[in-house]
Amino acid sequence: MTTVAATSHPAPAHHDDRSFLRKYVFSTDHKIIGIQFLFVSLFFLLVGGLLAMQMRWQLGFPGKPMPGGGVLPETMAPGGVILPEYYIQLLTMHGTFMVFFAIMPLLVGVYANFLIPLKIGTHDMAFPRINMWSFWSFFAAGLVMLSSLFVPDGAARAGWTMYAPLSARHDLSGASFGQELWSVSIILVGLSSILGSLNYITTVINNRAPGMTWFRLPLSVWSLFITAILGLLALPVLSGAAIMLLFDQIIGTHFFDPAAGGQALLWQHLFWFFGHPEVYILILPAMGMVSDIIANGSRKPIFGYHSMVFAIVAIAFLGWIVWGHHMFVSGMNPTLGSSFMVSTLVIAVPSAVKTFNWMGTMWRGNIKFTVPMLNAIAFVAMFVIGGLSGIFMAATPVDMQIHDTYFIVAHLHYVLFGGSLFALFAAIPYWYPKMFGRMMSERWGKVHFWLTFVFYNCTFFPMHITGMGGEMRRLYDPNQYTFLQPYQPIRVFISISAFLLFATQIIFFVNFWWSLKRGKPSGLNPWQDNGLEWTLPSPAPHGNWERVPTVYRGPYEFSSPQVPEDYLPQTRKLPSDREPAAASAARH
Amino acid sequence: MRWWLPLKASTFTGPIDGLFLAILIITGIAFVLVEVGLLWFVVKYRQRPGRKAFYTHGSTRAEVIWTVIPAVTMVALGLISNHYWVEIKGRNSIPPNAYPIGIHAKQFEWQVTYPGPDGKLGTSDDFTVRNQLHVPVGRPIVVALSSEDVIHSFYVPQFRVRQDAVPGMDIKAWFQATVPGTYELGCSQLCGLGHYRMRAQVFVQTQEDYDAWMKQAAQEASS
Ligand code: HEM
Ligand SMILES: [Cu+2]
Ligand SMILES: [Cu+2]
């Protein structure tokens, strides 16, 4: 490792004579790669949103021509009326884009790349070139997935969970090339994540600045580090399963086809062995960044730093032995259901600890309502709802009733939108100045926050009610069932809220683009934070530091009695501070 | 429109709805605690000029309390849930006298096989009806589920019963209806483009009505 890292440390900031292509396209600079991930995955977020709008049209106004739907081909929506076969492509692609191409790269691709070297005080990732490949394989995966929407018999149709044998046999799903492209794309996504994870893990272990001990790492770095470990354990399983699925689809193996001796449940075990760790990959970085932002916004040290770290580790460990809670009624041995139920219920404990510690951090603080802080508080408030609804589903007898209903849809959107996406609406404006040297508009950020908060709850909360009433998920038209017809007004309400929610996001995108050129210049440390990244110019230069900084304390020393200001940067040496051990310094 | 779980029409509704309510109360308390706490802190500790936050890194006592209480609650909930789970889905939960019905799921219909007058499946007097499930009230029913092609899922919300039908597997699920009437059986696992219309009628009948229907249907089937 040492040779790679040593030779690939980029030149110090001011001799930056790389060509445009090397600097902005095939860049090995972790910050540029992070920003590339940001642009691409924001685009996919928009794509995922557009697909959702079409589903909501069909559910709110079944059988009515969709405004603008006339541009779609006959095979999807003749006369603008969505067909069932198009609807199931929409739901499959919505889930796939949101999980693999929006939330996961936004949290990990963007912030593991951007933050880890800046926050631990190093010049770049341990393996910058591998890092570049991680981005490009993600990009290729995204293009493959996107192109599958345009092939003749359409995109994959078996849900983002791709249950076999529906996914494995083209004669059963009615799609062929689209299904195969899904498998190929997922193999590439796995590759991207594996490469990225290797890099993040190595970098955090080896390249910390002098004095940056493990327990002085910001929680954002801790969570990204643990996420990378989870990713390294989970993604190879997904890629492996996707390779088997692809073989079933194209070369006539029958891993998942019982008609020829395969096993249908094998896919589910492999998928969820990846899938549950995946949902924690989608929340841990959010929790970490929110911890940083809440401490900063409350001007108080994080409450219970050590238990926050242990909670991250516990969640990751438990998250890795609970996958069977997606399979309680799948025909899996019911005794296994019992053990998966207990491990799942126990996972609520570290989640509760984290929630109470965030509240403890705000308690007796001096809370500043910046846009990142508002979104971070909303994260806590909304994540709690998702975590608590998880308890209903973890209890096996109750899950028998609500599995595969809109109750699950409500749960997963409370954790993924209410949790992960609100955390991103906090993180994006928070680190925007270090990326681009400018601030996003505070006023429009607040408008966006409040409208999103209201429409988001109007969209997803009522799904608990229809789910309790037994409304199954993934139905093209619930009105087929007489007992679901009375819920149509709720579905209309949800759809209208969803359209407004989508429209509100335009504010965010415009603010994002507008501020790139016109935002207020930010200066070094606009949030008066203690992290190492805030000692650098904004935007941070190539290679970050000429000489790596020395760290004297943890990242959460807000309102310390040692200084008159209410923050105390990690690099500031007070007379009482000692130089860290030379051994650590020698590495750089 | 209901704001609660569907109508109750099987013996499972007691334990499942009870558990649901218990969890709602527990999570409801946690929910109110957190949301009210957040709101209160946001108002009380909002930034004011000249104030400095209270400098503290935490409190072991508080953290032990808020670790132990959720932990104990969750383990207790697990034990209680498991008690009912074993009764409902456990390996030996199916009552020995349960009345057998075969259900074969296929894209996109339910083929219901009745045991015929002898009350046994797999004999020559069995007969099959599409998308109609008739069951006698007040008697345990065991459904032998199988699938022709992909995974489907047998779901009758009013009975609180759900079980996937998996190709290559024979899975048994049981329930006991308590209220005569007409209900709907739905497929709750995405099974292809016709998933949304994979639906059957469920008729819960008194034993006499059921026997009468059975006699007539058996005749129709054999003619
Ligand atoms: C307290 C913590 C949590 C518990 C106890 C919990 C429990 C569960 C259970 C039991 C299921 C399966 C329900 C079913 O299908 O019948 C489930 C589904 C799901 N959970 Fe959670 N969960 C928790 C947190 C999270 C988090 C943090 C995320 C993601 C950020 C998440 C994302 C999901 C998703 C996406 C599904 C649905 C997968 C699908 O079928 O498409 N959950 N959860
Ligand atoms: Cu899970
Ligand atoms: Cu089906």
DSSP A472: B
Q: Which residues in chain A are contacts of B194 at CB distance < 8 A?
A: 84
At residue B126, what are phi and psi to the nearest 5 degrees?
-65, 150
- Structural domain including A517 reads 26-535
Q: Which residues in chain B are contacts of A311 at CB distance < 8 A?
A: none
Q: What mean pLDDT is predicted for residues A47-75?
A: 95
Q: Which residues in chain B are contacts of A414 at CB distance < 8 A?
A: none
- CB of A131 within 6 A of ligand 1: the answer is no
Residue type, position A95, single letter: G
Does the predicted interface ipTM exceed a cut of 0.85?
A: yes
- CB of A348 within 6 A of ligand 1: the answer is yes
Q: Under DSSP, is residue A211 helix (H, G, I), strand (E, B) or coil?
A: coil
Q: Cβ atoms within 10 A of the Cβ of A191, count?
A: 19
Task: Output the CA A398–ligand 3 centroid distance in Å.
Answer: 22
CA A470 – CA A404 distance, rounded (Å): 9
Task: Output the CA B110–ligand 2 centroid distance in Å.
Answer: 30
pLDDT of A403 over the 80 cut: yes
Question: Does residue A561 sit within a domain?
Answer: no
Q: Which residues in chain B are contacts of A303 at CB distance < 8 A?
A: 56-59
Count CA atoms closer than 13 A to A306's CA, side-chain side: 6
Q: What mean pLDDT is predicted for residues B119-127?
A: 92
What residues form DSSP beta bridges with B140?
Answer: B176
Q: What mean pLDDT is predicted for residues B77-87?
A: 97
Q: Could you tell me how many residues make up chain B?
A: 223
Nearest Cα neighbor of B191 from B163, B150, B162, B154 is B150
Tokens of A504: 């509100």
The Cα of B20 is separated from the nearest Cα of chain A by a number of Å equal to: 6
Q: Which atom of ligand 1 is nearest to the CA of A279?
A: 29
- CB of A415 within 6 A of ligand 1: the answer is yes
Tokens of A513: 């683009």
Residue type, position A403, single letter: H
Residue type, position A468, single letter: M
Mean pLDDT of chain B: 95
Count CA atoms closer than 13 A to A233's CA, side-chain side: 18
CATH at residue A307 = 1.20.210.10
- CB of A393 within 6 A of ligand 1: the answer is yes
CA B216 – CA B115 distance, rounded (Å): 14
pLDDT tens, residue by residue, A234-274 = 999 999 999 999 999 999 999 999 999 999 999 999 999 99
Question: Does residue A172 sit within a domain?
Answer: yes
pLDDT of residue A24: 80
At residue A451, what are phi and psi to the nearest 5 degrees?
-65, -40
Spatial contact of A93 and A36, defined as CB atoms under 8 Å apart: no
Task: Output the CA A161–ligand 1 centroid distance in Å.
Answer: 13
Measured in whole angstroms, how far is the alpha carbon of residue A72 from the centre of its chain? 30
pLDDT of residue B222: 79
Residue A21 binned pLDDT confidence (cut-offs 50, 70, 90): confident
Nearest residue of chain B to residue A485 (CA atoms): B1
Residue A159 binned pLDDT confidence (cut-offs 50, 70, 90): very high
What residues form DSSP beta bridges with B132?
Answer: B201
Spatial contact of B41 and A361, defined as CB atoms under 8 Å apart: no
Nearest residue of chain A to residue B92 (CA atoms): A334
Q: Under DSSP, is residue A574 helix (H, G, I), strand (E, B) or coil?
A: coil
Instruction: Tell whether omega for the bond before A539 is within 30 degrees of 0, i.e. cis.
Output: yes
- Element spanning B41, H or E: helix B13-44
Ligand nearest to the CA of B147: 3
Question: Does residue A331 sit within a domain?
Answer: yes
Question: Does residue A4 sit within a domain?
Answer: no
Q: Which residues in chain B are contacts of A450 at CB distance < 8 A?
A: none
pLDDT of A581 over the 80 cut: no
Mean pLDDT of chain A: 94
pLDDT tens, residue by residue, B14-34 = 999 999 999 999 999 999 999
Nearest Cα neighbor of A269 from A158, A161, A191, A404 is A161
The backbone region for A174, taken as left when phi is positive above 0, alpha when psi lies in -120 to 50, beta otherwise, is left
pLDDT of residue A15: 57
SS3 content of chain B, % helix, strand, coil (to 5): 40, 30, 35
pLDDT of A5 over the 60 cut: no
**SS3 sequence, A305-346?**
HHHHHHHHHHHHHHCCCCHHHHCCCCCCCHHHHHHHHHHHHH
CA B189 – CA A578 distance, rounded (Å): 62
pLDDT tens, residue by residue, A520-569 = 999 999 999 999 999 999 999 999 999 999 999 999 999 999 999 999 99
- CB of A325 within 6 A of ligand 1: the answer is yes
Cβ burial, residue A253 (10 Å; 0-12/13-18/19+):
middle
Q: What mean pLDDT is predicted for residues B203-212?
A: 96
pLDDT of residue B54: 95
List, in order, residues 6 or more apart from B160 with CB less than 8 Å away: A400, A401, B5, B10, B12, B13, B16, B17
- CB of A277 within 6 A of ligand 1: the answer is no
Q: Which of A97, A99, A238, A326 to mutate to test the pocket of ligand 1 (most atoms within 8 A of CB)?
A: A326
Q: How many domains does chain A have?
A: 1
Q: Which of A393, A396, A424, A463 to mutate to test the pocket of ligand 1 (most atoms within 8 A of CB)?
A: A393
pLDDT tens, residue by residue, A105-116 = 999 999 999 999
Spatial contact of B30 and A387, defined as CB atoms under 8 Å apart: no
List, in order, residues 6 or more apart from A252 with CB less than 8 Å away: none
Cβ burial, residue B70 (10 Å; 0-12/13-18/19+):
buried
pLDDT tens, residue by residue, B132-176 = 999 999 999 999 999 999 999 999 999 999 999 999 999 999 999
Best of A167, A254, A383, A401 to disrupt the B interface (most B CBs within 10 Å) is A401
Helices then strands, counting H and E runs in chain B, come out as: 3, 10
pLDDT tens, residue by residue, A555-570 = 999 999 999 999 999 9
Cβ–Cβ contact B192 with A under 8 A: yes
At residue A439, what are phi and psi to the nearest 5 degrees?
-95, 150
Ligand nearest to the CA of A390: 1
Spatial contact of A111 and A223, defined as CB atoms under 8 Å apart: no
pLDDT of A1 over the 70 cut: no
Best of A167, A306, A369, A400 to disrupt the B interface (most B CBs within 10 Å) is A400
Residue B46 binned pLDDT confidence (cut-offs 50, 70, 90): very high
For the domain spanning B99-222, the CATH number is 2.60.40.420
pLDDT of A586 over the 60 cut: no
pLDDT of residue A18: 77
Nearest residue of chain A to residue B17 (CA atoms): A398
Q: What mean pLDDT is predicted for residues A154-167?
A: 96
pLDDT tens, residue by residue, A426-469 = 999 999 999 999 999 999 999 999 999 999 999 999 999 999 99
Q: What mean pLDDT is predicted for residues B32-46?
A: 97
- CB of A316 within 6 A of ligand 1: the answer is no
CA B56 – CA A202 distance, rounded (Å): 33
Ligand nearest to the CA of B149: 3
Q: Which atom of ligand 1 is nearest to the CA of A394?
A: 10
pLDDT of residue A16: 66
pLDDT of residue A22: 80
Nearest Cα neighbor of B12 from B147, B155, B132 is B155
- CB of A405 within 6 A of ligand 1: the answer is no
pLDDT of A12 over the 50 cut: no
Q: Which residues in chain A are contacts of B193 at CB distance < 8 A?
A: 83-85, 88, 157, 174, 476
Partner residue opposite A364 with nearest CB, options B54, B57, B161: B54
- The string of DSSP codes covering B57-102 is ---HHHHHHHHHHHHHHHHHHHHHHHHHHHHHHSTT-S-TTPEEEE
- CB of A278 within 6 A of ligand 1: the answer is no
Task: Sketch the domain layout of chain B as residue ranges.
Answer: 13-89, 99-222
Q: Give nearest CA residue, ligand 1 atom 22.
A: A390
At residue B112, what are phi and psi to the nearest 5 degrees?
-100, 120
DSSP A109: I
Measured in whole angstroms, how far is the alpha carbon of residue A311 from the centre of its chain? 19
- CB of A399 within 6 A of ligand 1: the answer is yes
Nearest residue of chain B to residue A561 (CA atoms): B55
CB contact under 8 A, A172 and B149: yes
CA B194 – CA B4 distance, rounded (Å): 28
Residue A4 binned pLDDT confidence (cut-offs 50, 70, 90): very low
Cβ burial, residue A140 (10 Å; 0-12/13-18/19+):
middle
- CB of A389 within 6 A of ligand 1: the answer is no
Q: Which atom of ligand 1 is nearest to the CA of A286?
A: 30
Measured CA to CA in angstroms, residue A214 lies from A267, A435, A449 at distances of 38, 26, 34
pLDDT of A356 over the 90 cut: yes
Residue type, position A393, single letter: M
Measured CA to CA in angstroms, residue A468 lies from A462, A491, A500, B85 at distances of 10, 14, 25, 19
Tokens of B214: 């059975």
Spatial contact of B165 and B105, defined as CB atoms under 8 Å apart: yes
| CB-based burial, A31-66: b 16+ in 10 Å, e otherwise | bbbbbbbbebbbebbbbbbebbbbbbbbbbbbeeeb
Residue with tokens 């899938």: A275
pLDDT of residue A6: 40
Residue A571 binned pLDDT confidence (cut-offs 50, 70, 90): very high
Spatial contact of B9 and B183, defined as CB atoms under 8 Å apart: yes
At residue A512, what are phi and psi to the nearest 5 degrees?
-60, -50
CA A36 – CA B218 distance, rounded (Å): 68
Measured in whole angstroms, how far is the alpha carbon of residue A257 from the centre of its chain? 32
Residue B223 binned pLDDT confidence (cut-offs 50, 70, 90): confident
Cβ burial, residue A301 (10 Å; 0-12/13-18/19+):
buried
Q: Under DSSP, is residue A19 helix (H, G, I), strand (E, B) or coil?
A: coil
Stretch 53-112 of chain B: residues touching chain A, C-beta under 8 Å = 53-59, 62-63, 66-67, 70-71, 74-75, 77-78, 81-82, 84-86, 88-91, 107
Residue B221 binned pLDDT confidence (cut-offs 50, 70, 90): confident
Q: Which of A279, A328, A422, A468 to mutate to test the pocket of ligand 1 (most atoms within 8 A of CB)?
A: A279
Measured in whole angstroms, how far is the alpha carbon of residue A539 from the centre of its chain? 24
CA A262 – CA A411 distance, rounded (Å): 32
The backbone region for A560, taken as left when phi is positive above 0, alpha when psi lies in -120 to 50, beta otherwise, is beta
Task: Output the CA A411–ligand 1 centroid distance in Å.
Answer: 7
CA A424 – CA A417 distance, rounded (Å): 9
Considering only A5-14, A149-158, A265-274, which range has the smallest mean pLDDT? A5-14
At residue A45, what are phi and psi to the nearest 5 degrees?
-60, -40
Nearest Cα neighbor of A35 from A121, A100, A111, A104 is A111
For the domain spanning B13-89, the CATH number is 1.10.287.90
Q: Which residues in chain A are contacts of B47 at CB distance < 8 A?
A: 299, 366-369
Q: Could you tell me how many residues make up chain A?
A: 588
Measured in whole angstroms, how far is the alpha carbon of residue A570 from the centre of its chain? 28
CA A566 – CA A558 distance, rounded (Å): 5
